[in-house]
Amino acid sequence: MENGSLDSHLFKAKSLLTWGTRYKIVCGLAAALMYLHEEWEQCVLHRDIKSSNVMLDSNFNAKLGDFGLAKLVDHEKGSHTTLLAGTLGYMAPECVVTGKATKRSDIFSFGVVALEIACGRKPIEYLAPEKQIRLVQWVWELYGTGTLLEAVDPHLGSDFEEEEIKRLMILGLWCVHPDSDFRPSMRQAIQVLNSEASVPVLPSKMPVASYVSSPISSSYSDASIIRTQSSSSNKFDKGRS
């Protein structure tokens, strides 16, 4: 892969990715996940989707790499209970507690990468201002106040399509919804990326989750979720896309 990994461009100044290239990359990653989840004879759960595993060829086409943690499951089952695996910051919260990987946990990781592409930020930045340490929470707060553009990667300057970048960030938030039942499928995500469906209306505040300690998650206690507690006013129509 002539252009290395996505993270080397976003975080290591290998080169500045233009907005058009970034949107191309996220669409390519979405297509790869669609194939893995829906279009092969079995469903492939990658379980470690992150920007360092997105490889770029000479034309900046995205290729999803590193299948060392991947699992095959039957389409009708769509889940696999196993030992905890993945990378902190990209792991779906329910995986931390149960160790169960599903299509929806891959979609959570895809959502984190989508936000990284738009914002030029890692999922966790310990040296950032307090409200910006965790990318997902920060972007969701900006969504709720109608100031999403404040999260745009400053390296882009004004060289981006406003509607596209807002669409990508809202899609990213949809994919990282704490309640896995409210995340989109990859088919729905691609429809949004291709402007074939509108973005969902999300809660203005990130749904509150209950955190508990767990033997599985002792080293990830700040990411452990047993269930999501969202009031009815914070729920949105699962059928919307």
Q: Which of 7, 48, 153, 237 is catalytic?
A: 48
Alpha carbon distance, N-terminus to C-terminus of the chain: 34
Is 237 designated active site?
Answer: no
Burial of 218 by CB count in 10 Å (0-12 exposed, 13-18 middle, 19+ buried)? exposed
Alpha helices in 78-227 (DSSP H): 93-98, 103-119, 135-144, 162-175, 186-193
Residue 14's identity, in one-letter code, is K
Handedness of CA 26, 31, 33, 34 (dihedral sign): positive
- Pick from 206, 208, 211, 207: which is nearest to 225 by CA? 211
Residues noted as catalytic: 48
